Every structure is written in structure tokens, then in C-alpha cells.
Structure 1
Amino acid sequence: MTEWTNDTAIQRWGTIPRDALQATAHDGDFAKRHLINPVLLRMLGDLQGQRVLDAGCGNGYLSRILARRGAQIVGVEPGQSQFEFAVEQETSAPQGIQYVQADLCALPDLGAPFDAVVSSMVLPAVPDWTGAMRACVQALKPGGLFVFTVNHPCYEQLWPTWRQHGEYRTARYLAEYEIPGPSGVDFHRTIATYLNQLISLGCHLTELAEPGLTPQLAENGPDGIDAYTHLPNFLIAAARRAA
């Protein structure tokens, strides 16, 4: 496996072209819109007046959704193209979002502790993911809520293998390995790896979700998306920092 550092991963992810960022600027892609966002928003609950950190905010779409729900948002994003796009959106249509360009493992002073931290589809892309998770938890006030999403470690490549074979196939699970993508590289880690790190940080797991598509939604999705009606492609966790 290639020796990745946070810096090299950030450089790779930070070159996503503008048209790709624009295409997902409102509510993300098909999977985020129908599988991730509804669960995240339900887990986060009433956000009116809540101080929320969007850790690894990308193009800022989730930050903008949360701001529309009354949250006071700080969005942290290290990638150059994503950060610039998010700032541009805030400049053209201000919602009071503060965007900060920083590595999650080296956060600057962001002010008072947060009521909630959300990190959606970020940890799999971070080489020093344990440092990133630690920073997310430490940014919370005691009893604060941490919600994160990852590619489901059991079914990370569900869509491509389903299109090829009509079923899900995998040959390995226990070892960490790279998953190359069009914009960057994700890293496979087991479910136990993520959850044990969460426990070691003094967090109390409150919910796990493995969302699936309804057949009706799959009918209007891209080719092969019917796999998501049978198996989950995402794992979503909610936890509380120790009071």
C-alpha cells in the first residue's frame, strides 16, 4: 500500500473540478440525497441555535442545509478547490457560515465547544483518521453529539460489483487497503476499528444506521442502484461525548 500522509491525501482530494462541485452543491449526489442526508438530519435533531462543526465539509452543501435549519455552522475543509467553492457560495448567498481551511488533525482555535460535530464521508479519506476522530470528539462540549458516516466496511464497492456480477463480491475484509476513486483515495477499515476508536475516546454509542433504498427510489436512480435495496453501502453512527 502506498505511504499516504494527510498532506498528500489533501492535495489529491483538493483538485476536484468546479463542475463536479457545482453538480452536488445543493444536497449532494443521489446516494447522499436519499440515503445519508435523511439519517444525518434525523440523528442531529433540532438544530435551532445549536453550534455545529461540519468536519470535512467539502463543497459545503451539508453546512448550508444545517444553517437553513437554524444551526450556527463552522465548516472545516482542507481541500483547496472544495474550500474555495464553499467560501464562494457563502459570499454570494450569506448564511452566517464560517469556513476554515485546515487539516482536521491540526484544527486552529474554533472558539467555544460545539453542541454537535458531523463528519460525513470524511474519515475513510484521512490517513491519520484516528487523529481526525479525536479532534472531532475534543471539539465537542461534554455530552455533545458526534455523528459520522463512512462507506460501509462490508459493502464498500457494492455498486460496481453488483453491476458486473448481479451480486456483491469481496475477497478481503480484515486488512486495511486503498480504494482508488476518481477524485482521491479512500481506505478500507473494519467496523470494529472505527467503533473501538470511538469507545477509546470516551464516547457512548447511541445509534448505528445502515440505510437502504426503497424500490421506488431505485427505479429513478442510475444503473445498478437497485443493489442498494438489498445491501447497505453506508454506515452511520451517532455517539455522545462523556459528560
Structure 2
Amino acid sequence: MGRDAPHDQLAAMDVDGDFAKRHLVNPVLLSMLGDLRGRRVLDAGCGNGYLSRMLADRGARVVGVEPGRSLYDYSVEREAELRQGIRYVRADLCDLPALADLGGPFEVVVASMVLPAIPDWKPAMRACVDALAPGGLFVFTLNHPCFERLWPTWRAHGTYQVGEYLADYAITGPSGADFHRPVSAYLNELAGLGCRLREVAEPGLAPEVAATGPEGIEAYVKLPNFLIVAAEGP
């Protein structure tokens, strides 16, 4: 989802995101987060706010941060309608307001599909970890760096092909660029920030769900398109 998506596109993903988020990312992410009742949660790079709304439905006290104007405006509009108690802040993840002004520190910080979209991503990860209360939980999701182009290459070749993995490079898509980095880059940075890895997931799609999805989605049964990481902060 681009940072200036039209309103109708944002509305189409209002409840639980797109097909892949609904069936692959959200169930694992919510399982890793556990019981959220009464917990302070920062949704870092909240997009149209769908995840913030899901977290609030589970009893979390949510602050959503989003730099994109159309995404931020949509989130605020939905909060005015639903009154879930979510506070939205328009800010760049690399330049957050003071933690006290955000209502932190937070017991949980979530950055879902955010870090791969940021060119200078290390300060963003540091900001997420710095926002944690001692021993808090940091969970982030990525397009799996090993299988980022799974769907189009599977449709073209009936298998997955990758020509380069170890380098950093931009991947241009319909909604802007994402940035490829090896898995080790994210995990080593996480360790360097003093976090302790708790769980890593590479979810696969159930065959019966793939049968209801778009052409080529059967590749997600065989290979993981997403990587979900949970870690405890310092």
C-alpha cells in the first residue's frame, strides 16, 4: 500500500488488510502478541490504521504513527467514526516526537511491513526499540528477503527464481519502492540493539485457502513470502 493511496483503496483494506495480510501475516502476528488487554502498544508505521483497529479491538491502548498524509487522514477519519480510543500521530519513524509526548514507553511495539519500505531503516528500528518499556515486546514483519518476488516469478516460471540475495537494492513496485536486505541484516541489527530473539515465523498458506485466492497464490503454500520476528527489548 503506497504512502499516498486513494481513499477507495484504503477503504478496501480497512478491516484486516489484503488477502496475504488476512491469511498469512495477521494470524501469526496476533498470536505472537498474545493478550493485549490494557497494554500500551505503538503501531509504528500504521498505514491506514487497520492493524491499530484490530489491536484496539483486543483491548490494547494504541498509538499509531504514520507519515503519509492520506493514510494518516484515513486513520483519523475512522477513529472519529469508531471511537476506539486510538491516538494517531503524523510523524516519520526516524524522527518521532519525544517518548513522553507519544504516551510511552510502550509494552509492545509493532512495525508491520514498514522497515523494508524505509531506505535508512536502522534509525527506524532503533526508534522502535527505544520506545519499548524495559523488557517490552518488539514484533516486525517483512516480505521474506529470500522470496520477495514469489508471486510474479511463480506465475511466469512455475517455480521460484532469484538472481541476487546478498546485496542491498531497491525493488520498484506499483506503490513505490521497497528495499531488499538479507535476513541477517535485520537480525544482526536487532541483536546489536540489545534485543533477545524470541520467535521467528515463516507462515505458509493453507491449500484450501489458496484455492480461493488469485492466480499464482498456490506458491504461498510451498514457500514463505513473509518473515515475522518477535524479540524482547533490552
Report the TM range for the smaller structure's normalisation.
Answer: over 0.9
Q: State the partner residue of 1:108.
A: 97
Output the TM-score relative to the length of structure 2: 0.97
How big is the shift at 1:13? 3.9
1:23 aligns with 2:12: yes
1:143 aligns with 2:139: no
**Match of 2:91, SS?**
coil
Output the TM-score relative to the length of structure 1: 0.94
Letter in 1 for 2:136: G
1:86 aligns with 2:78: no
**Match of 1:25, SS?**
coil
Q: State the partner residue of 1:216.
A: 208
Q: State the partner residue of 1:188.
A: 180
How big is the shift at 1:151? 0.6
Q: Residues of 2 paired with 1:112 and 1:66: CA distance?
A: 16
RMSD of aligned residue pairs (Cα, Å): 1.0
1:75 aligns with 2:64: yes
Equivalences for residues 41-52 of structure 1 within 5 A: 41-52=30-41
Deviation track 1:181-240 (CA, whole Å, cap 9, x = no partner) reads: 111110000000000000000000000000000110000011100000000000000000
Q: Residues of 1 paired with 2:156 and 2:115: CA distance?
A: 28
Task: Tell me the matched-pair count.
Answer: 231
Q: Residues of 2 paired with 1:177 and 1:145: CA distance?
A: 29
Q: Residues of 2 paired with 1:123 and 1:106: CA distance?
A: 14
Q: Residues of 2 paired with 1:107 and 1:232: CA distance?
A: 32
1:57 is aligned, of 46, 60, 66, to 46
Q: State the partner residue of 2:191.
A: 199
1:98 aligns with 2:90: no
Letter in 1 for 2:221: T
Letter in 1 for 2:158: G
1:174 aligns with 2:169: no
Q: Residues of 2 paired with 1:112 and 1:73: CA distance?
A: 10
1:120 is aligned, of 101, 107, 112, to 112
Q: State the partner residue of 2:153.
A: 161
How big is the shift at 1:14? 2.7
2:22 is aligned, of 30, 33, 37, to 33
Q: Residues of 2 paired with 1:156 and 1:144: CA distance?
A: 29
Deviation track 1:132-164 (CA, whole Å, cap 9, x = no partner) reads: 000000000010000000010000000000011
1:152 is aligned, of 144, 153, 156, to 144
Q: Residues of 1 paired with 2:45 and 2:228: CA distance?
A: 16
How big is the shift at 1:17? 1.2
Q: Residues of 2 paired with 1:157 and 1:34: CA distance?
A: 18
Deviation track 1:45-87 (CA, whole Å, cap 9, x = no partner) reads: 0000000000000000000000000000000000111101001
Q: Which runs of 4+ in 1 moved over 3 A?
A: none
Q: Residues of 1 paired with 2:76 and 2:177: CA distance?
A: 24
Q: State the partner residue of 1:232.
A: 224
Percent sequence identity over aligned pairs: 66
How big is the shift at 1:111? 2.3
How big is the shift at 1:20? 1.1
Q: Residues of 1 paired with 2:71 and 2:218: CA distance?
A: 30
**Match of 2:94, SS?**
helix
Q: Residues of 2 paired with 1:37 and 1:130: CA distance?
A: 24
5+ residue gaps, structure 1: 1-11
- Which range moves more in the overlay, 178-187 or 188-197? 178-187
